[in-house]
Amino acid sequence: MRALVVTAVAAERDAVCAALDAATATNAETAAGGYRPAALPGGYALHRAPTGPDGAPAAPDVLAAGVGPAAAAAGTATALTAAALAATSYDLVVSAGIGGGFAPAAPLGAVVVADAIVAADLGAETPDGFVPVTELGFGTAVHRPDPALVAAVAAATGGTAGPVVTVSTVTGSAARAAELAARHPGVLVEAMEGFGVAEAAAAHGLPVLELRTVSNAVGPRDRAAWRIGPALAALTGAFRTFPGALAGVPAAAPTPPPPTPRRTS
């Protein structure tokens, strides 16, 4: 299964790339860590994985697309389009990185695999509260990854499956954390890119996953309590198991691109 992993920043990309075991190197290309940057339109640098003895990729390709859902969607769409034009299309797209965990279900260092990728703030505020974009009659607010893929990756990584919300503004108060938890029962992680990656994958008819490791608690911003280094290390550990997790799961059937919503009034 040929996979594209999309992160927000270079530190997350490098943590994913570090999962490639240099001991499996089969050619000179892999001697310096295995990945080789390839330029994409728009100035993106795709880190291409080396191939294994069978000619298949030894690991996912990895792209740092930028922070937030818009940047994530643009970068993912660019990489997917370039691959399609080169007749090297992907079979799976993965949004990955660190994120904030909702205590106590997702403590620091936890691995979380999204069973729902939710646009938490895509909609409208009304006197009666928040209304998601779907209730306004436009588009979608949730992408649901293949349950078999979610279960396989969660089992392989020792992670927990549950909803991950995508926001454009990171939560900085206990009140906002409580609001999100009430609106999205069972939510485990808050991040900023998953829904954008999922939208681009859906437009190409590809399945999507989101994998996050927890670096901080969702709520009041306390930078002294953040554990970014350990979360990045946990991300590397999770992706060491990733190829094996995918090997036992049949490829998901392609899904048709979603229709383009049109205003009727």
Question: In angstroms, how far is CA 115 from the centroid of its own chain?
Answer: 12
pLDDT at 28: 43
Q: Is the pLDDT of residue 145 over 90?
A: yes
Task: Tell me the average pLDDT across 15-26.
Answer: 67
Averaged pLDDT for residues 13-42? 71
Q: Give me the pLDDT at residue 252, please.
A: 56
CA distance linking residue 89 with residue 251, whole number of Å: 14
Residue type, 262: R
Write the CB contacts of 264 (distance below 8 Å, at least 6 apart in sequence). 137
- Condensed to tens digits (0 to 9), the pLDDT of residues 73-102 reads 999 999 999 999 999 999 999 999 999 999
CA–CA distance, 202 with 117 (Å, rounded to integer): 12
pLDDT of residue 251: 60
User: Which pair of structure tokens corresponds to residue 68?
Assistant: 């937030």
How high is the pLDDT of residue 57?
74
Q: Is the whole-model pTM more than 0.85?
A: yes
Please list, in sequence order, all residues whose beta carbon lies within 8 angstroms of the beta carbon of residue 102, skipping any fewer than 6 positions away. 177, 180, 181, 187, 188, 189, 190, 217, 218
The whole-number pLDDT of residue 114 equals 98
Whether the per-residue pLDDT at 212 is higher than 80: the answer is: yes
pLDDT score at 24: 46
How far is residue 93's CA from residue 205's CA, in Å, rounded to a whole number?
A: 10
What is the C-alpha separation between 256 and 212, in angstroms, rounded?
A: 27
Burial status of residue 61 (CB atoms within 10 A of its CB: 0-12, 13-18, 19 or more): buried
- Would you say residue 254 has pLDDT above 70? no
Number of Cα atoms under 13 Å in the Cβ half of residue 111:
22
How far is residue 88's CA from residue 137's CA, in Å, rounded to a whole number? 36
Q: What span, in angstroms and rounded, lies between the C-alpha atoms of 238 and 241?
A: 6
264 pLDDT exceeds 50?
no
